[in-house]
Amino acid sequence: MNSLKLIVFVFLSLTVNAQELYFPGQDWEERKPESLGFSNEKIKEAIQFAIGNENSVDRNLKNAIISAFGYEPGFEIKGPTKPRKGPNGLIIKDGYIIGKWGDVSRVDMTFSVTKSYLSTVAGLAYQKGLFNLNEKINTYINDGKFSSDHNKEITWHHLLNQSSQWKGNLFGTFDWADRPTRNLSIEELKTQEIAKPGKAYKYNDVRVNLLSFSLLKILEEPLPEILKREIMDPIGASSSWRWYGYEKSKLNLNGSVVSSVSGGGHFGGGLFINSLDHARFGLLFLNKGKWKNKLLLSPNWIELVQVPSKNNESYGYMWWLNKGERKWESLPENIYYGAGFGGNYVVVIPDYNLVIVARWIDSSKIGDFVKKIVDSQL
């Protein structure tokens, strides 16, 4: 390659790499997949795959929750629930919609995808300097929740990657009653040995709700209001989403009664949202926290959420990573995603400038579905 051709090649490469994403306004532009380098037919096939592999959870989600978690000691539905309908979702390439199916405007429960939004509020607090990740939480909150010899060792880092091993009762549920080992008596569950903070991973909504409660205490403002003002309104999200806690999670904050919101729908509650708003949220992360020309969330935080936990290579700060035991084979390791009960997903694929939102897909098929989309590239 002569010098002139080399210069042209480098220039074109830099131009392509520097290409800005499209960011939707009130309306969202749709384009044919082929106009952005993907096969029209293969994208259609991928969408049919998602529709044909609907999750088997009962469409009456209250029944589905009880069926999945009703074995837990003292289990109860504490927050609102809502019946679902059929699968829906979106495929976003370079910011444009290149595929969609179902009712993407319908507001539904999204279960543990809520955790990725909760992590984002933590990121907002972090970038304001309100906490340091490796500081012990008992230096911030002294209401007794972090005062025992065991709990006083817990840091923000531990709560964010679900390695806190916190012991206690929050809003009427003990930590040991959340996804407990089956076939153990209540007395055995109460007295079982657990690891020290930071030494083991355990997916536990009571402890996630404790993170939400702790953020509420230091931010001194309802988390949904912060999310709305600093993230959802700037990215043009609709006004239809809601973030719920429980009747038992209300508390007095500076003279006002507010709800400490939940990090999922395990006991009801959590984020109720449509797929279009999910897609905007994913697009913000794809662009490393920047929406158009405004930086909303620190790129440093977006890097931090993707750091594998010491105790679970597949998990970061309340985002799942394409690594370790949950790796989707033949797909880039830098994929990360929010995931929730019933087949709810917001998937960010940096290498292909893709965001995928899938609702009510068979959870065992999500990796295959994502691969079908990636393999649709021409």
pLDDT score of 10: 38
Residue 10 in domain: no
Question: pLDDT tens, 294-323?
Answer: 999 999 999 999 999 999 999 999 999 999
Question: pLDDT tens, 90-132?
Answer: 999 999 999 999 999 999 999 999 999 999 999 999 999 999 9
Which residue, among 65, 46, 49, 47, has the nearest Cα to 342 in the 3D structure? 65
Residue 148 reports pLDDT greater than 60: yes
Residue 305 in domain: yes
Note down the domain range covering 272. 33-374
Average pLDDT, the chain: 94
Tell me which of 12-16, 219-223, 257-261 is least confident.
12-16
Question: pLDDT tens, 360-369?
Answer: 999 999 999 9
pLDDT score of 20: 80
pLDDT score of 19: 54
Strand partners, 347: 337, 356
Read off the pTM.
0.94
Structural tokens at position 319: 């985002």
Residue 53 in domain: yes
| CATH code for position 121 | 3.40.710.10
d(CA 227, CA 261): 12
Number of domains the chain is built from: 1
Q: Confidence band (pLDDT; 50, 70, 90) for 4? A: very low
d(CA 47, CA 90): 9
Residue 1 in domain: no
Residue 5 in domain: no
Residue 350 reports pLDDT greater than 70: yes
DSSP H or E run through 40:
helix 40-52
Burial readout 38-47 (b: 16 or more C-beta within 10 A, e: otherwise): beeebbeebb
